[in-house]
A and B are shown apart, each in its own frame.
Chain A
């Protein structure tokens, strides 16, 4: 029995309202509150920025209970406009659900990747619908695409192919009957802080449309430049210091008039070669400043070498700023703590006999705003955060949450620790035993011989 498509979507992203509502367009007609689509969408003058083809299949996948996502980016390095905040949202949201990227496999080879998908499709007898022709072209090395993604989540398969705008050099006709729904969206930067996303989702078969309107808040650059918050990394010894400084001379409200009911967090994504010791004095006793409120791993063995830890790869440490005040005029604080390295690092050493690994940090304000139904978060693009952030801060199933996030600072740092010259091991082993053997021999000699002589000498002296 073949697996047939259960849902498909065409998404078109714009950046300008005028693209959707051009005077001479032939596709979309607006008559008061009614919007009509014809069967065919003709893409010519309106130049959409991105086009996503998505197809969903319900299949039972063997050998995995994980939600996995395989992504391949095409050789064509199409540079997305950095303002294209919609793309990550769509890449992450799929069919009204976020992708919890627990495992991420990257393929370095395009041909291998496409062949893998092809074998996968054959193995599960999947009949591609609209994207079949595109995929055949891709497998013959003729296709053109920006990204291909294969996502498996809760036994559902989502295959997505993304086309960048500039491939539509000629008029392209897309039959909307092939899609369960079609989405068209455009963005408007409302103010310095907020971007409004508007558009519609159209279901051709049911002749229904649904308007969409939500906000995205992107303060990243602004707030970073304001120097409200600073995080410095410093490594003199093998335990790198992390300094968190909050400047108190600015009022957050001045820069973010919408900010309301916010908490400030610092999230560290640390590989297992290092760890934050929750028992550190600095963390325990400075908790009036920043408090370690959550660790993704329940039990982190502080004494185990990294290669003996197989229960996790990375751990997330979440600090919360205590008594955080949006109008923190007088709030100037410094917070310092160490990252502890595990001395045995399974990584290979470089030529200078140092091994290195990365840790990543994110500082953000997480705010509640009941006045908006649904505010997306730019944090969703940080897919490497895995399920931790999504689960704790952006869980769409928590409808009452109404929260959004302002990323204050984000960065990666490299930790370097000395690595012993392993070729010396046998010499060190032999030397150790030699020193121990000689020490014992000397002590025994001392007891057997020297002491007796001293005693006799002493006795003679007395006489």
Chain B
């Protein structure tokens, strides 16, 4: 296993060919089948471009466009050919592979090519970009940010970090591991430059975020802020999704539930706790997520772990934090998995060591738990969506299994830090 059977160049070429084949297959399927290969979001991006450029309107004229208008501009080549946006996303996806490989080499990973393969040959990653989902932009921005960071180009890294927060809010949580890195370094070396770099990184990233957001705000006004940021803060997706919170947030909006809460009878009290009372789940559900996403990176950094390399620890902390953020989130869809699959390659040494130690079952167990937790949920999701079966209870249990299964996977990845 230690010998590298394929080099990065070969891996990259194969990955590019696979993506190109799927790109053309997608075009074929879209034209010949009622079931479209292209992701619905791709048409949302495309429609926003048409609204902006051809109809001289706003990208937000297109319902459900909840992104920065910069994404609309990224889609610009689609004016020449509708599929060019996908080509761009595939390019970003392949560039992610390039930066993953660079970072893996920089952090002295033993198996950089295998690690890169975890991204480039990941079927979920390939499907997401070839179907026209824009998540590869976020992955590329964060990988570029990390690459610049580990090369100590803190100013450039901070600019990219600010841009990535502008694109989607969630990378803001990485301010905790980034801060932990600088503070940890300072505590170990007592060199004040790390505090200066910390302040610089924070200031530049904040300035970049504010500047870019302000420019976009000046052009697109309040609707940009409403759709791109505020909507995600108040969002509670009443449609079914993987989140453990989904069922409770769905049901608490049903008038019948509200009614039985208002005209409360037989309220069971256990000490101070009222069991039969609707909690403010929409707001309260953010607390466990914030807590775990804050405490875990801090604990990982300031606790003795297997990783002695701070940069390696930073990347793994970001990976684990992202996974926690996704699985404790109020809304989880498949594309959110890409947020943390971006960092999966940085655990390659851990996986291969397990393999070399012939702990195959542990690896298989991890894979089975991660896949089956989705599989069980998707089975009941299918029964509800496509067979109209009343499986809300089963779906709720599957949501719990999804969280528990992924918490187990995260706990195993924590061992690798």
On whether the two chains bind one another, the answer is: yes
Residues of A whose CB lies within 8 Å of any CB of B are: 235-239, 279, 281-282, 284-285, 299-303, 305, 307, 336, 342-344, 346, 348-349, 352-354, 416-426, 428-433, 435-437, 439-440, 442-444, 446-448, 450-452, 454-455, 458
Q: Which residues of the partner chain A approach B278 to less than 8 Å between Cβ atoms?
A: 425, 429
- Whether A421 and B392, one on each chain, are in contact in the complex, defined by CB atoms closer than 8 angstroms, is yes
Stretch among B195-203, B359-367, B406-414 lining the A interface:
B406-414
With contact pairs A440-B292, A443-B407 given, residues A336 and B385 touching in the complex (Cβ less than 8 Å): no
Asked, given contacts A416-B388, A446-B411, whether A344 binds B253 with beta carbons under 8 Å apart, the answer is yes
The 7 residue pairs across chains A and B that have the minimum distance between CB atoms: A418-B390, A237-B386, A420-B392, A446-B411, A439-B407, A422-B256, A435-B400
Query: Known pairs A418-B388, A440-B291. 4 more at Cβ < 8 A?
Result: A336-B34, A420-B254, A426-B275, A429-B248
Find out whether the CB atom of A439 lies under 8 angstroms from the CB atom of B403. Answer: yes
Complex-state Cα separation, A430 to B403, whole angstroms: 16
The answer for the CA separation of A423 and B276 in the assembled complex, in Å, is 10
Most B C-beta atoms less than 10 A away, residue of A239, A346, A425:
A425
Question: Which residues of A have CB within 8 Å of B34?
Answer: 282, 336
Chain B residues within an 8 Å CB radius of A238: 384-385, 388
Q: Say yes or no: is B368 at the interface (Cβ < 8 Å to chain A).
A: no
The chain A residue sitting closest to B235, CB to CB, is A303
Asked whether, in the complex, the Cβ of A440 is within 8 Å of the Cβ of B388, the reply is no
Do A422 and B257 form a contact, CB below 8 Å, given A279-B63, A343-B238, A451-B305? yes
Kindly state the separation between the CA atoms of A353 and B390 in the bound complex, as whole angstroms.
7
Q: Give the CA-CA distance A452 to B250 in the complex, in Å.
A: 40
B334 at the interface (CB under 8 A from A): no
A444, B62: Cα distance in complex, Å: 43
Assess the B393–A417 pair: CB atoms within 8 A: no
- Asked if B415 contacts A451 (CB within 8 A), the reply is yes
Flag if B387 contacts A305 (CB, 8 Å). no
**Which A residues touch B306, using CB under 8 A?**
451, 454-455, 458
Asked if B276 and A426 sit within 8 Å, CB to CB, the answer is yes
Cβ-defined contact, A236 with B388, below 8 A: yes
Binary CB contact string for chain B from 267 to 289 against chain A (1 if under 8 A, 0 otherwise): 00000000111110100000010
Whether the pair A422, B403 counts as a contact (CB closer than 8 A) is: no
Contact B392 A455, beta carbon cutoff 8 Å: no
Q: Is the CB of A302 within 8 A of B388?
A: no
**Known: A238-B388, A446-B414. Is A422-B254 also a contact (CB below 8 A)?**
yes
Chain B nearest CB from A42 CB (Å) reads 60
Pick the interface stretch among B100-108, B294-302, B370-378: B294-302
Is B391 on the interface with A (CB-CB < 8 A)?
yes
In the complex, B336 has a CB within 8 A of chain A: no
> Do B252 and A425 have beta carbons less than 8 Å apart?
yes
Cβ-defined contact, B248 with A447, below 8 A: no
Question: Is A428's CB under 8 angstroms from B303's CB?
Answer: no
Q: Which of A236, A285, A452 contacts B387 (CB 8 A)?
A: A236
* Alpha-carbon separation in the docked complex, A451 to B306 (Å): 8
Cβ-based interface call for B244 (8 A): yes
**Given the interface contacts A431-B400, A432-B244, does A344 sit within 8 Å of B254 by beta carbon?**
yes
Is the CB of B94 closer than 8 A to any CB of chain A? no
Query: Once bound together, how far apart are the Cα atoms of A27 and B307, in whole Å?
Result: 110
Give Cα distance in the complex from A387 to B194, angstroms: 71
Contact of B64 with A303 in the complex, beta carbons under 8 Å: yes
A428 engages B388 (CB within 8 Å) = no
Q: How far is the CB of A55 from chain B (nearest CB, A)?
A: 44
Measured in the bound complex, the distance between the Cα atoms of B194 and A99 in whole Å is 78
| Any A CB within 8 A of the CB of B185 | no
User: Is B288 within 8 A of A436, CB to CB?
Assistant: yes
* Among listed B36-44, B143-151, B162-170, B172-180, interface-contacting one: B36-44
Distance in Å: Cβ of B81 to nearest Cβ of chain A = 16
The smallest C-beta distance from B238 to any residue of chain A, in angstroms, reads 5
Closest to B276 in A: A426
Find out whether the CB atom of A419 lies under 8 angstroms from the CB atom of B390: yes
Residue of B nearest to A429 (CB): B248
> How far is A429 from B274 in the complex, measured between Cα atoms in Å?
12
**Are A346 and B255 neighbours in the complex by a CB distance under 8 Å?**
yes
Q: Does B335 contact A (CB under 8 A)?
A: no
The residues in B between 240 and 264 inclusive whose CB is less than 8 angstroms from any CB of A are 240, 244-245, 247-248, 250-257, 260
A455-B304 in contact (CB<8A): yes
Q: Once bound together, how far apart are the Cα atoms of A394 and B72, in whole Å?
A: 42
Contact check, A418 vs B253: say whether CB atoms are below 8 A apart.
no
Most buried by B among A239, A285, A435, A442: A435
Instruction: Give the chain A neighbours of B277 by CB distance below 8 A.
Output: 426
Are the CB atoms of A436 and B403 closer together than 8 Å?
yes
Q: How close is B10's CB to chain A, nearest CB, in angstroms?
A: 34
Q: Complex formed: what's the CA distance from A348 to B256 in Å?
A: 8
Q: A235-B388, A303-B64 are in contact. Are A436 and B328 (CB under 8 A)?
A: yes
Residues of B within 8 A of A348 (CB): 256
CB neighbours (8 Å) of B387 from chain A are: 236-237
**Which residue on B lies nearest to A352, using beta carbons?**
B390
Q: How far is the CA of A282 from the CA of B277 in the complex (A)?
A: 43
- Do B385 and A279 touch (CB < 8 A)? no
Residues of B within 8 A of A432 (CB): 244-245, 247-248, 281, 396, 400
Q: How far is the CB of A48 from chain B (nearest CB, A)?
A: 51
> Which among A238, A284, A444, A458 has the highest number of chain B CB atoms within 10 Å?
A238
Closest A residue, CB atoms, query B44:
A279
Give 26 A-B contacts (CB < 8 Å), ordered by A residue: A236-B387, A238-B384, A238-B388, A239-B385, A279-B47, A279-B63, A284-B43, A342-B238, A343-B240, A417-B388, A418-B389, A420-B247, A420-B250, A425-B252, A431-B396, A432-B247, A435-B244, A436-B403, A439-B404, A443-B414, A444-B299, A447-B296, A447-B303, A448-B299, A450-B411, A455-B304
Q: How far is the CA of A403 from the CA of B373 in the complex (A)?
A: 60
Most interface-central of B30, B40, B255, B288 (chain A CB within 10 A): B255
Verify if B239 is at the interface (C-beta below 8 Å from A): yes
A267 to chain B, nearest CB (A): 22
Q: B288, A425: Cβ atoms under 8 Å?
A: no
Q: How far is the CB of A308 from chain B (nearest CB, A)?
A: 8
* B257 CB contact (under 8 Å) in A235, A303, A425: A425
* Complexed CA–CA distance, A451 and B44 (Å): 45
Cβ distance A455 to chain B, nearest Cβ, rounded Å: 6
In this complex, the member of B291, B404, B415 whose beta carbon has the largest number of chain A beta carbons within 10 angstroms is B415
Residues of B within 8 A of A353 (CB): 390
- Which residues of the other chain, B, contact A436 by a CB distance below 8 angstroms? 244, 288, 328, 403
Give Cα A423–Cα B392 distance, bound, in whole angstroms: 13
Cβ contacts under 8 Å, A239 to chain B: 385
B318: min CB distance to chain A, Å: 16
Within the assembled complex, what's the spacing in Å between the Cα atoms of A60 and B384?
A: 53
A416 to B44, CA, bound (A): 29
Distance of A448 Cα from B295 Cα, bound (Å): 11
Chain A nearest Cβ from B189, distance in angstroms: 22
Instruction: Say yes or no: A429-B279 contact (C-beta < 8 A), given A446-B411, A455-B305.
Output: yes
Residue contact A428 to B385, C-beta cutoff 8 Å: no
Given A416-B388, A428-B396, also A422-B260 (CB < 8 A):
yes
Cβ contact within 8 Å between A236 and B386:
yes
A337–B254 alpha-carbon span in the complex (Å):
28
A423 to B266 alpha-carbon distance, docked (Å): 13
A178 to chain B, nearest CB (A): 53
Q: Which residue of B lies closest to A239 (CB)?
A: B385
Are A452 and B292 in contact, with the CB atoms below 8 A? no
Nearest Cβ on chain B to A423's Cβ, whole angstroms: 8
Q: A337 to nearest B CB, angstroms?
A: 10
Do A447 and B403 have beta carbons less than 8 Å apart? no
Complex interface: chain B residues within 8 A of A282 (CB)? 34
CB distance from A236 to the nearest CB of B (A): 6
For the complex, give the distance between the alpha carbons of A342 and B250 in Å: 11
Q: Does the CB pair A281–B385 fall under 8 Å?
A: no
CB-CB under 8 A from A420, the residues of chain B are 247, 250-251, 254, 390, 392-393
